[in-house]
Amino acid sequence: MRVRRKTVAAGFLLVVCATLLLLLSSPRAQNEQVPVTESEDPLLEQRLSDLQRRLQEAENLNKRREDELYALLSRMGPGPQPVAGSKLPAHVDAGDAAGTINGTRSLHHFSAVLEDIHRSVSSLQVPGIHSYLPHLTGHPEYLRPAVHLSKGRKGVSIAIGVPTIKREKSSYLIQTLNSLIQSLTAQESQDCVIVVFIAEPWDQKYAESVIDSLKQNFAESLASGLLEVLVPPAGFYPNLDNLKETFGDTKERVKWRTKQNLDYAFLMLHSRPKSMYYVQMEDDVVAKPGYLTIMNTFAKQQKDEWIMLEFSTLGFIGKMFKSTDVPIIVEFFLMFHADKPIDWLLDHLLWVKVCNPEKDVKHCQRMIQAVRRRFKPSLFQHIGTESSLKGKVQKLKDRDFGKAGLYRAHVNPPVQLASSLKTYMKYTLPKAYTGETFFWASSPNKGDIIDFKYDPPIHIEKYLFRSGNTDHPGDVFRNTTLEIQPSKNISGERLAALSFQSGIYAEELANTSPGFIPIGRFNDHGLAQGEIIEEFNPVKVLRIHVHKASNAWVILSEIMIQQAKSKKR
């Protein structure tokens, strides 16, 4: 980076020297004080044009390069200004220049050219991190981690940011990471990255002690790339000792919340390129097993636009954002980083994005709820009692954590749905299939069916249908079988043998739908699951078939159709 700045500076010096030599060697410049226009010096015009083109390319290709060039020009001064009693630019030594050219109109013209260049570069600038943290100008090293342990994992579904700071008494970081990592399956651990952000840039010994502890406890996760460690540079943070005290907060609390906002900004910007979604975590939580797949599935099931998905009711725990939205979210945080705490800023951001000032509060709340969606039950629980703010004790608990969900979502293949059952309110079959809610219907009668039609037919590896839920455990399918309609013919003898092995009652076998093959039934707990052998694949229709009337209503709380990977179309 230093070489690049020297190159740009050398370019400017080259333009200055070339112009002076041309002016000095010109008879008209020596004998007459006539302004030299750009048309009289094609070489200078070409160089200036080329310089502007390079600046434009830098803006398009890399915003950081533009910031560095702007920082270089800023160190030259706020723009060429004449020194008192002369026509020279402010950054040109008047004594030296006077010995060569004594305030000629040609140098006045050159000063104007440099001012045009300065304005041209400045016009490319848009509000960004240097606007909100001006002390970063000219210091690109302040945007790079001081310490970064990483295997460079990218292209995963979810990046989880875990900021941690030094606490007076207890640290929950190891317990938190144990829970997050141990709750992952082998496949899930390949599709995420956990970034530990040690937000103690002024305490090198503490940061080193945490890193040593992580190496001892999570060597395998570090080696695989699942776990990364990040320490920010001290220079990223502005002076936090002269902040304005607002909202009745003490100076210490204002400093703490401001630094926390900056911590989140650095961590989110660093983690964003690694994944499709970014999830904000804290260093004092425990996770529910299977949390990663649940979050991933819930995000993919969302059809309408959303800004944030919540997997915990507490603070900034379990909050998911699309990585493409992170830059604008972070910019909003930076814009007001010294004004309000992070949760307030998040509320304001949502209000700005979706609320209509001409509408009432209830309308605003509905609009926010449409883009800020909550998953129940919570996947993360707060375990710490000692806050990261010195002296503060918080006994926050998520009441929804640990509760069994009323439904479970899966990413199922495209389907055409049909049912003879009467749906109750908004609990429709399509919503249950896509994982938005459960399917709820009034009491089934003999002969009622639910069809899952696949056109073209698909190869199904496994299936699972779970009926009932914790609120209505009795609303399960009874005397109900699973049938399939294959796309190819099966011999009668083979069909009879396979049907006998399926465990289906004789009466149910006799009532099997024409052209269908029985493959399983709902057990006494309302669960039907199994595999479909290759001989029956591909499948045109999978059917739930009721053989006896029931007084109880029925709920399908989970639908999972696992398509064979090698056979996906």
Instruction: Check residue 33 and give its pLDDT.
Output: 40
Cβ(66)–Cβ(55) below 8 Å: yes
> CB-based contacts of 283: which residues, under 8 Å, 6+ apart?
162, 163, 164, 171, 172, 173, 176, 384
CA–CA gap between residue 172 and residue 381 (Å, rounded) = 13
Q: Is the peptide bond before 538 cis (omega within 30 degrees of 0)?
A: yes
- DSSP states of 21-46: HHHHH-HHHHH---PPPGGG-HHHHH
Q: Helix, strand, or coil here: 454?
A: strand
Q: Which of 386, 377, 376, 383 is nearest to 397 (CA)?
A: 383
Cβ(477)–Cβ(546) below 8 Å: yes
410: tokens are 């899966």
Cβ(458)–Cβ(558) below 8 Å: no
How many alpha carbons fall within 13 Å on the CB side of residue 165?
A: 17
β-bridge mates for residue 29, sequence order: none
DSSP state of 265: H
Q: Helix, strand, or coil here: 84?
A: coil
Instruction: Check residue 566 and give its pLDDT.
Output: 59
Q: C-alpha distances in angstroms, 265 versus 231, 257, 280, 330?
A: 13, 12, 11, 5
Instruction: Check residue 446 and give its pLDDT.
Output: 93
Instruction: Check residue 26 and give its pLDDT.
Output: 44
Instruction: Check residue 1 and give its pLDDT.
Output: 47
Q: Is the peptide bond before 357 cis (omega within 30 degrees of 0)?
A: no
- pLDDT tens per residue, the chain (569 residues)? 444 444 545 555 554 455 544 444 444 434 444 333 334 455 565 566 566 656 655 555 555 555 555 555 554 544 444 444 444 444 444 444 444 444 455 556 666 656 665 665 555 566 778 888 989 988 889 999 999 999 999 999 999 999 999 877 778 899 999 999 998 988 899 999 999 999 999 999 999 999 999 999 999 999 999 999 999 999 999 998 888 888 888 888 899 899 999 999 999 999 999 999 999 999 888 888 888 988 998 888 888 899 999 998 877 889 999 999 999 999 999 999 989 999 899 999 999 999 999 999 999 999 999 999 988 778 888 875 444 555 454 545 555 545 556 778 787 888 999 999 999 988 999 988 987 789 999 999 999 999 999 999 999 999 999 999 888 888 999 999 999 998 887 766 666 666 666 667 777 778 888 888 888 889 989 999 999 888 888 999 999 999 999 989 999 999 999 988 755 54
CA–CA gap between residue 517 and residue 506 (Å, rounded) = 14
CA–CA gap between residue 281 and residue 83 (Å, rounded) = 55
State the amino acid at position 93 in one-letter form. Answer: D
202: tokens are 């002024």
Q: C-alpha distances in angstroms, 547 versus 160, 464, 483, 544?
A: 48, 19, 12, 10
In angstroms, what is the C-alpha Rg of the chain? 33
CA–CA gap between residue 342 and residue 47 (Å, rounded) = 48
β-sheet with 308-310: strand ranges across: 147-149, 227-231, 192-198, 156-164, 275-280, 319-322, 308-310, 372-374
